[in-house]
Amino acid sequence: MADLSLRLEHLNLPARDPEGLAGWYAGNFGLHADRHLVRGPGVLIAFQRGEPVGRAEDVHLGLRVPSLESLEAWAAKFGVQTRTGPEFITIKVFDPEGNCIEMYTPSA
């Protein structure tokens, strides 16, 4: 039987200012920007020139954090409140081009 395991390797997103947006992600999330790319452990996002998706919370990046304490630190950094759902505690923030970023940790 073939190996059916998958691993997401990268994400391409349209951006009006690909290099500027890569810089924003690098500065806010401790990643490394290289032109229109942003990288870090387990993260590779390529921003391509184009109009942003513009679907706010319907389409979002999901970033799992290791603990509630870590999530609360991110919430303080971005000045937002945590929200508790049935499975996860989350925050949502938006990048300069309106892309939604959901950061979450499992709720007990």
Instruction: Give the residue extent of every domain in the chain.
Output: 8-51, 54-108
Residue 26 has, within 13 A of its CA and on its CB side, a CA count of 16
Q: Check if 8-51 and 54-108 are the same fold.
A: no
pTM of the model: 0.87
| Local confidence band at 8 (pLDDT 50, 70, 90 cut-offs) | confident
- pLDDT of the residue at 53: 83
Structural contact between residues 25 and 15, judged by C-beta atoms closer than 8 angstroms = no
pLDDT in tens, 26-74: 999 999 999 999 999 888 999 999 998 877 667 888 899 999 999 999 9
User: Hey, is 77 helix, strand or coil?
Assistant: helix
Structural contact between residues 92 and 58, judged by C-beta atoms closer than 8 angstroms = no
State the CATH class of domain 8-51: alpha beta
According to CATH, the topology of domain 54-108 is 2,3-Dihydroxybiphenyl 1,2-Dioxygenase; domain 1 (3.10.180)
